[in-house]
Amino acid sequence: MKNLTTLSELSVSEIQRILDHASEFKAGKIYHGAEGKVVANLFFEPSTRTNYSFQTAELRLGCKVLAFQPQSSSLQKGESFYDTVKTFESFGVDAVVIRHTENEYYKQLSGLRIPILNGGDGTGNHPTQSLLDLMTIREEFGGFAGLRIAICGDIRHSRVAHTNLEVMARLGMDCYTAGPPEYQEDRYPHMDFDRAVEEMDVIMLLRVQNERLEEAMSMTPAQYNGKYGLNPARLARMKPGAIIMHPAPFNRGVELTDEVVECPASRIFPQVTNGVYVRMAAFRYCFGD
Interface ranges with ligand CP (CB under 6 A): 47-51, 120, 129, 247-249
CB of 118 to ligand CP, least distance (A): 11
| Nearest residue to 284 (alpha-carbon basis) of 64, 17, 8 | 17
CB of 99 to ligand CP, least distance (A): 7
The residue among 48 and 210 lying less far from ligand CP, judged by its C-beta, is 48
Q: Are 62 and 34 a contacting pair, CB within 8 Å?
A: yes
Element (H, E) at 276: helix 268-286
The Cα-based distances of 68 to 39, 89, 93, 269, 287 in angstroms read 11, 13, 13, 26, 21
The Cα-based distances of 204 to 40, 197, 226 in angstroms read 31, 10, 17
89-104 in b/e form (b: 16+ CB < 10 A) is beeebbbbbbbbeeee
The residue among 3 and 129 lying less far from ligand CP, judged by its C-beta, is 129
SS3 of 244, please?
strand
Q: In what order do the strands lie in the sheet with 38-43?
A: 64-67, 38-43, 95-100, 116-121
Report the distance separating Cα 111 and Cα 132, nearest Å: 29
Burial class of residue 168, CB neighbours in 10 A (0-12, 13-18, 19+): buried
The residue among 50 and 118 lying less far from ligand CP, judged by its C-beta, is 50
Q: Are 278 and 126 a contacting pair, CB within 8 Å?
A: no
CB of 254 to ligand CP, least distance (A): 16
CB of 212 to ligand CP, least distance (A): 12
The residue among 191 and 206 lying less far from ligand CP, judged by its C-beta, is 206
CB of 33 to ligand CP, least distance (A): 25
CB of 49 to ligand CP, least distance (A): 4
CB of 116 to ligand CP, least distance (A): 17
CB of 22 to ligand CP, least distance (A): 16
The residue among 38 and 272 lying less far from ligand CP, judged by its C-beta, is 272
Say if strands 116-121 and 64-67 run parallel, antiparallel, or are unpaired: unpaired
The residue among 47 and 103 lying less far from ligand CP, judged by its C-beta, is 47
- Residue 230 makes CB contacts below 8 A (sequence gap 6+) with 197, 203, 205, 244, 255, 256, 257, 260
- Residue 195 makes CB contacts below 8 A (sequence gap 6+) with none
The residue among 186 and 211 lying less far from ligand CP, judged by its C-beta, is 211
The residue among 48 and 218 lying less far from ligand CP, judged by its C-beta, is 48
